[in-house]
Structure 1
Amino acid sequence: MVPFLDLKAQYRQIKPEVDAAISRAIESTQFVLGPEVSAFEKCFAEYCNVGHCLAVNSGTSALHLALVAAGVGPGDEVITVSMTFVATTAAVLYSGAKPVFVDVDPVTWTMDPAQVEAAITERTKAILPVHLHGLMADMDPIMEIARRRGLVVIEDAAQAHGAEYKGRRAGSIGDFGCFSFYPGKNLGAYGEGGAVVTNQPELAKRVALLRDWGQETKYNHVVSGYNYRMDGIQGAVLNVKMNYIEAWTEGRRAAAADYDRQLAKLECVRPQPPAHSRHVYHVYALCLPRRDETLSMLQQAGIGVGIHYPVPVHLQKAYADLGYRAGDLPVTEGLAKRFLSLPIYPELRPEHVAEVVEQLRKIRFVEAA
């Protein structure tokens, strides 16, 4: 048996520290924002190499706040991708804007910069690339287009804590970076959590206002805001975990390298991160022929597997009114039919990787010559 994710193993590793931190937060009675959250914001800003971090209650809230703080609203368009979790699209719709989808690159599986320019209209206000599976999108050409056309760039870094692109951390390149701390993420809270990071003080100030009912001081509401504040307990948990994030990231990368070596002769397409990128492997996905058959057989063998994501956002029933049809994004749709996510987490042992690969071999993949 190899689970897809083992959060209990991580908890056992840090149990004394995290239990003490939670107790400290409870005893302080600072249950919303407060010193634990402030300490985490400072630490995470330093980790991302940015000037400001604003902790919020979810990654979806982070995206929504970044869009609103950027001035995105009704009548605007935001260029993004459909190969993502629905939260990316939902946040655009929450702001009142319209998501405009472009296809992804067939090698990196992230936003194809070559398609962005053609998607820009007079209504375009922002570009929202998604750093999928822990690999950052190709940010230099995206930023060049955005600066030349006067557009805001918001990085959806929900899966990319600590990822790098040409030596720059996820969240530090665009106008905003948005993170999720959902429990299964590379940096996960013990509940919901998220953050907006930025290098621009005025944008940071606006996000800080918007997350806390738009108030500068108590009962002094200067803008119409939201109740998007992080809990003190989550800040305490995340503070503990910040001491381990680099070691955990290297554990994921080591497991991914082990998969790469052992899968080299199997008929599958593996992640191919560019040499200039640091992939942090929130997900280790393969592109497989006979994906559904493989999924079923691995599950029967006790291997925890998943699909990220089986139905692209533009083909989801909930977003049918956006007007997209099958065939509009051929690369995205092809990947969705072939993606399979293997177990990956820092505590995954080499024998676990070997067991997963052995089960894949038993499904009679064609060995490469």
Structure 2
Amino acid sequence: MSKLAVFGGTAAVPKHRRRVEWPLVEDDDRKAVLGALDGARLVSDTDGVNPVSDLEESWARQFGFEHCVAVSNGTAALALALAALGIGPGDEVIVPALTFIATGLAPLHQMAVPVFADVDPVTFTIDPDDIERRITPRTRAIIPVHLHGAPADMDRINEIATRHGLAVVEDAAQAPGATHRGRPVGGIGDLGTFSLQVSKNIPTCGEGGLVVTRSAELAEAVRKGRQFGEVIESGRERDYISYNLGWNYKMNALQAAFTQSQLTRFEGYERARQQNIGGFLARLSRLPGIQVPTALPDTTHAWHILRFRFDPAAFGLDGTRPQALRSALRRLLRAEGVPMSQYQLMPLPDQKVFVERLGFGSGYPWSVTGATGTIAGEGYPVTRAVIADSLTIQKRHLHPGSGDLLGLYADAFEKVWENRDAVATLAGAAS
């Protein structure tokens, strides 16, 4: 039995193997950015074809979307999608309790109230049954999040939305390329949003976002929204008239050119990722007490983040608190060179902005609806359990050449599992 690194043994992952660059910046990316910099069309409101419109066309063609609008970031994409639907004061929007804060803030930016629903224990995406329980006469929309790259149950969500007359905005920030029953996520609801933030599977050189939709009318509303409410059309002289409320949420040419270059390599990267991650998860799935992320039947998982849940009883530590086992495994695996981390330290409704109703003015938008606000600690048992018993791996596995590194990660997991007495000791000390 190998001695654990935390007790002076040799780490399973040598230090020189631990650094992994993401995104991969190739010469083609540099040439694309310099080409855009040397061009005359650095913003999306210039007349004619420009790098931003090129990216919009390429993204739509790559994934099969009818309309695509590039914007400044993924949060802006969500806010513009809600604005295009007319979501506003007094409305409620159902969002998952386990997601990045932007999903909950987007309704607030429209003076709408986010209403939180629990998640599925396997996919970590919003639970359709809990959506049904949260619907009120004020509910106007649902934002399912394809969290970590796993598609939400869009068939059930769309059925619920149709039955109650609700709009569906897919938050696909972490899931470009994922599919649900052969359909690309983002294109299944009324609108879909993507993030191009530098950590994402398809990144830009900083921040960026996209909105996709089947509706020409909604696409036009998003275009107006990103440009001060103005109408910007090729061949039409700009009149500087705001036809409705708008913002300055434009993407610039350098961001678009970088992503366009990255997009040309996406299919090759994705094939490598699926192979590398599939082999890694297959090895870990044989270990007792660990639930590996799973691509459910009829779905394609984008594997943006790998979240692992740990079961003390199945591990052989019946009676141990999940948090104690999680803490022990995090310490031991990180010592072996596996960068295990927590992602989201609390359910979204426990965030201060929602608990204390820190919106606009005197408690708006909650005061419009008479809602009492969120109470920290209430409900969402699955979300709380997932946060208590899970750890994640982020970014390193996105590199298409990460197969050997993931093999070393698997060695580290197996080494720790061979030393379960040490795990028990550390977990007991943390209880």
Tell me which residue corresponds to 1:254. 275
1:337 aligns with 2:388: yes
Tell me which residue corresponds to 1:193. 208
Q: Partners of 1:348 and 1:326 in 2: how far apart?
A: 42
Structure 1 residue 184, shift from structure 2 partner: 0.8
Tell me which residue corresponds to 1:74. 89
Within-5 A mapping of 1:156-171: 156-171=171-186
Tell me which residue corresponds to 1:298. 333
Tell me which residue corresponds to 2:254. 233
CA RMSD of aligned residues (A): 1.7
Q: Partners of 1:149 and 1:120 in 2: how far apart?
A: 8
Tell me the SS of whatever aligns to 2:222: helix
Structure 1 residue 251, shift from structure 2 partner: 2.0
Tell me which residue corresponds to 1:311. 346
Residue type at the aligned position of 1:136: P
Residue type at the aligned position of 2:172: A
1:273 aligns with 2:295: yes
User: In the alignment, is the contact (CA less than 8 A) between 2:196 and 2:209 conserved in 1?
Assistant: yes
In 2 relative to 1, CA 238–120 (structure 1 residues): closer, same or farther, beyond 3 Å?
same
Structure 1 residue 264, shift from structure 2 partner: 2.1
Structure 1 residue 241, shift from structure 2 partner: 1.0
Residue type at the aligned position of 1:261: A
Q: Partners of 1:4 and 1:136 in 2: how far apart?
A: 30
Q: Partners of 1:302 and 1:274 in 2: how far apart?
A: 29
Structure 1 residue 339, shift from structure 2 partner: 2.0
In 2 relative to 1, CA 119–4 (structure 1 residues): closer, same or farther, beyond 3 Å?
farther
Tell me the SS of whatever aligns to 1:60: helix
Tell me the SS of whatever aligns to 1:7: coil
Q: Partners of 1:276 and 1:324 in 2: how far apart?
A: 37
Q: Partners of 1:170 and 1:205 in 2: how far apart?
A: 21
Query: 303-312 or 202-211, which moves further after superposition?
Result: 303-312
Tell me which residue corresponds to 1:63. 78
1:215 aligns with 2:230: yes
Tell me the SS of whatever aligns to 1:306: coil
Residue type at the aligned position of 2:30: D
Tell me which residue corresponds to 2:428. none
Tell me which residue corresponds to 1:355. 408
Structure 1 residue 253, shift from structure 2 partner: 1.4
How big is each residue's C-alpha offset from its partner over 1:28-64, in whole Å with a ceiling of 9 and x where there is no partner? 1322225101000001112231210000000000000
Tell me the SS of whatever aligns to 1:78: strand
Q: Partners of 1:218 and 1:360 in 2: how far apart?
A: 62
In 2 relative to 1, CA 201–73 (structure 1 residues): closer, same or farther, beyond 3 Å?
same
Residue type at the aligned position of 1:230: M
User: In the alignment, is the contact (CA less than 8 A) between 1:5 and 1:345 conserved in 2?
Assistant: no
Q: Partners of 1:360 and 1:107 in 2: how far apart?
A: 21
Among all aligned residue pairs of Structure 1 and Structure 2, give the percentage whose two residues are the same amino acid.
35
User: In the alignment, is the contact (CA less than 8 A) between 1:163 and 1:170 conserved in 2?
Assistant: yes
Q: Partners of 2:185 and 2:239 in 1: how far apart?
A: 33
The structure with the larger Rg is 2
TM-score (ref. length: structure 1) = 0.94
Tell me which residue corresponds to 1:132. 147
Q: Partners of 2:291 and 2:150 in 1: how far apart?
A: 16
Tell me the SS of whatever aligns to 1:326: coil
In 2 relative to 1, CA 170–4 (structure 1 residues): closer, same or farther, beyond 3 Å?
farther
Structure 1 residue 220, shift from structure 2 partner: 1.8
Which one of the candidate residues 165, 168, 178 is aligned to 1:153?
A: 168
TM-score (ref. length: structure 2) = 0.81
Equivalent pairs counted in the alignment come to 363
Ranges in structure 2 where 5+ consecutive residues have no aligned partner? 1-14, 232-237, 312-324, 357-372, 422-431
Tell me which residue corresponds to 1:22. 33
How big is each residue's C-alpha offset from its partner over 1:167-203, in whole Å with a ceiling of 9 and x where there is no partner? 0001110000000000110000001000100000000
Tell me which residue corresponds to 1:287. 309
Structure 1 residue 226, shift from structure 2 partner: 0.3
Which one of the candidate residues 6, 12, 32 is aligned to 2:43?
A: 32
User: In the alignment, is the contact (CA less than 8 A) between 1:4 and 1:306 conserved in 2?
Assistant: no
Structure 1 residue 324, shift from structure 2 partner: 3.0
User: In the alignment, is the contact (CA less than 8 A) between 1:310 and 1:336 conserved in 2?
Assistant: yes
Q: Partners of 1:138 and 1:47 in 2: how far apart?
A: 23
1:176 aligns with 2:191: yes
